[in-house]
Amino acid sequence: MGHTWTILKRELASYFTTPIAYVFIVIYLFLSGIFAFYLGNFFGRGQADLNSFFTFHPWLYLFIIPALSMRLWAEERRSGTIELLLTLPITMWQAVAGKFLAAWAFMAIALALTFPMWWTVNYLGEPDNGVIVASYIGSLLMGGAFLAIGACISSLTRNQVIAFIVTAAACLLFVLSGHPLVLDFFKGWAPAFLLQAISSFGFLSHFDSITKGIIDLRDLVYFASFIAFWLFANVVVIEMKKAD
Amino acid sequence: MGAMVEIKNLSKRFGPITAVDDISFAVQRGEVLGFLGPNGAGKSTTMKMITGFLAPDSGSVRVGGDDLELSPMAVKQRIGYLPEGAPLYADMTPYAFLDFCAEIRGFRGDEKRRHLDDVVAKVHIEQVLSQPIATLSKGFKRRVGLAQAILHDPEVLILDEPTDGLDPNQKHEVRTLIRTMATEKAIILSTHILEEVDAVCTRAVIIAHGRLVCDGTPAELEARSRLHNAVTLLVRSGAINGAQQQLRALAGVDSVELLEEHDGVARFQIYPKDGHSIVSSVGEAAREGGWRIEELRVERGRLDEVFRAVTTGSTSREV
Ligand SMILES: Nc1ncnc2c1ncn2[C@@H]1O[C@H](COP(=O)(O)OP(=O)(O)OP(=O)(O)O)[C@@H](O)[C@H]1O
Ligand SMILES: [Mg+2]
């Protein structure tokens, strides 16, 4: 645990010693504002809630999270520091967890900086703050799931551009598999249990149910096991591909 | 207590290439082992296996009595490692980076501070401590890499080409540093600079095509040279041809080569049979012939010649 914390600190600090942190946060806030106000018609809806803000998070994360995760391992490979890191007296799990948690913590910071939205709705009306808290938690969990995929894919290559594109594609798959468009395609002919499986495999059904304000244990278990699975894959990939 | 580092039958393949082929050796405390071999011989791959970065296909590594496979943590704690090219986190400052390494090595508070101050002074990086590593000169980067390796005062040091690309002064400094640490550690360093072997190593191994072809002290390796105990003779004489004839006729002399001749001075290289000493008979012949000797020197043998002989010799045997 101690080593995981040390690695987390180093990683998190390195976001802030480069312009990455500031660029990321500014663009994240800008885009989530655009999505909420223009596409989501935040004011026009005349409702005091943050639905229009959270609805777009899966789509926002689709390209903003791969930008955060692409360097996690690809950069270590490119610069050769992976050799330094993995010959220190730490376990592979500590390295993988430390890096993942750093990226996740950074994402949490960016998400927390959207608090003026919360303020605004509380100023304008009387929103259900319980729903908003749940939505924030759901968004954080979904972001963690995106990041776990991204960390694993980043460990497959030394090229950050490849890591970005492949991660975005993989995440798209998991977003789409719960989307009505895809479900409609299967609806006509696929058996109900398959439909159920496809939908519960994707992010959307879980995210939607959390943003309705219901924190169901099953959704938490889904995201937790999803993250654990991809981090496990991350460990396996690095063990197998250390030399390249 | 056995050897500090003990490697047995280590092998590693990359697809069709056998990078390391059944290598065994041991290094004791107090030894500085020079790891020599042509490009692609498998030096770095061997080091990566000793430090636990790569898993060997077969064979075992023991460090300080612990098996790497069974207790990797114990082994990694004993080792300080400078990977080839000294990779570093470029966006960190040397201070932040070394602080990170110190914490991973388990130092906290005053103890951490002491270790950091100590190592910073040892490698002389005081003036660049808070400058991003990306902006440092190669010499400083290498020192930061070395600092990271020696920070926890490890019993075993593995240095992959520690002086590669440094200017002569910096090379000298790094070698001095290595020598000062040599007595209480077991050190393995790879290098392409053969003079380094004489300067810092107590023992050298040469590998070629993944196989160990030579293992001995620098003096033992030099003794394998054709030049070992050869005599270089500089004479001022009218009768150079006569001198050459006479030298060739001496007992124990294998051949005589006229290296150069100008201004009435001739430089001979006299090779002995089977590396025996011939300097006394050469001296005697000179005295009897009444030659005016400008210089008379016994060669110890040249490492580069031995290096070339054993590393290219093994290819011709294989192919
Ligand atoms: N990750 C890898 N994948 C495939 N082949 C590799 C890999 N790493 C090393 N090799 C091959 O293994 C052989 C030994 O390489 P190694 O880097 O150990 O040589 P070296 O002795 O350190 O050479 P140099 O003096 O140039 O540093 C080479 O043929 C190299 O191409
Ligand atoms: Mg090498």
A165 Cα to chain B: minimum distance (Å): 24
| CB-based contact B89 A14, cutoff 8 Å | yes
Full residue range of the structural domain in which residue A88 is found: 2-243
d(CA B8, CA B22): 8
Q: What is the mean pLDDT of residues B114-119?
A: 95
Do B253 and B171 share a structural domain? Answer: no
Partner A contacted by B131 (CB < 8 A):
no
pLDDT of residue B316: 37
Is B222 among the domain residues? no
CA of B45 relative to ligand 1 center, distance in Å: 6
Q: What average pLDDT does range B101-125 have in this prediction? A: 94
Please report which confidence band the pLDDT of residue A57 belongs to, taking 50, 70 and 90 as the band edges. Answer: confident
Give the model's confidence band at A67: pLDDT under 50 very low, under 70 low, under 90 confident, else very high. Answer: very high
Asked if B287 and B175 sit in the same domain, the reply is no
pLDDT value of position A217:
87
pLDDT at B313: 66
In a domain, B311, yes or no: no
Query: Do B25 and B167 belong together in one domain?
Result: yes
| Boundary residue ending a domain (B147, B182, B216) | B216
Give the H/E segment covering residue B200: helix B194-200
Which amino acid is residue B272, in one-letter code?
P
Give the number of domains in chain A: 1
How many cross-chain Cβ pairs, A to B, lie less than 8 Å apart?
66
Predicted TM-score of the model (pTM): 0.87
Question: Computed from CA positions of residues B125, B127, B132, B137, in that sequence, does the dihedral angle turn out positive or negative?
Answer: negative
Tell me the residue range of the domain where B42 lies: 5-216
Q: Tell me the per-residue pLDDT of A38-52, one tens digit each, with 9 for 90 and over.
A: 766 666 666 667 777
Domain count, chain B: 2
> Which among B111, B203, B105, B204 has a CA at the least distance from the CA of B147?
B105
pLDDT at A44: 67
Sorted by sequence, the CB contacts under 8 Å of residue A83 that are 6+ apart come out as B48, B53, B83, B87
A24: number of CA atoms within 13 Å, CB side?
Answer: 21
B306 vs B319: CA distance, rounded Å: 20
Q: ipTM for the complex?
A: 0.88
Q: Are residues B272 and B200 part of one domain? A: no
Q: How many Cα atoms occupy the beta-carbon half-sphere of A194 within 13 Å?
A: 10
Q: Do B87 and A81 touch (CB under 8 A)?
A: yes
Per-residue pLDDT reduced to its tens digit, A114-124: 888 888 888 88
Q: Are residues B118 and B207 in the same domain?
A: yes
Q: Provide the percentage of residues in chain A whose pLDDT is more than 90.
A: 46
- Smallest CA–CA separation between A242 and chain B, in Å? 7
Establish if B318 belongs to a structural domain. Answer: no
Mean pLDDT calculated for residue range B38-61:
95
Amino acid sitting at position A95: A
Distance of CA B38 from the midpoint of ligand 2 (Å): 9
Instruction: Compute the distance between CA of residue A95 and CA of residue A236 in angstroms, rounded to an integer.
Output: 12
Residues B165 and B238 in one domain: no
Per CB-CB distance under 8 Å, the chain B contacts of A81 are: 87-89
Instruction: Give the model's pLDDT for residue A42.
Output: 67
Query: CATH no. for residue B137?
Result: 3.40.50.300
pLDDT in tens, A181-225: 777 777 777 777 777 777 777 787 888 888 888 888 888 898 899
- Residue range B152-201, pLDDT digits in tens: 999 999 999 999 888 899 899 999 999 999 999 999 999 998 888 888 99
Same domain, B100 and B30: yes
Mutate to test the interface with B, among A12, A22, A84, A86 (most CBs of B within 10 A): A84
B307 within a domain of the structure (yes/no):
no
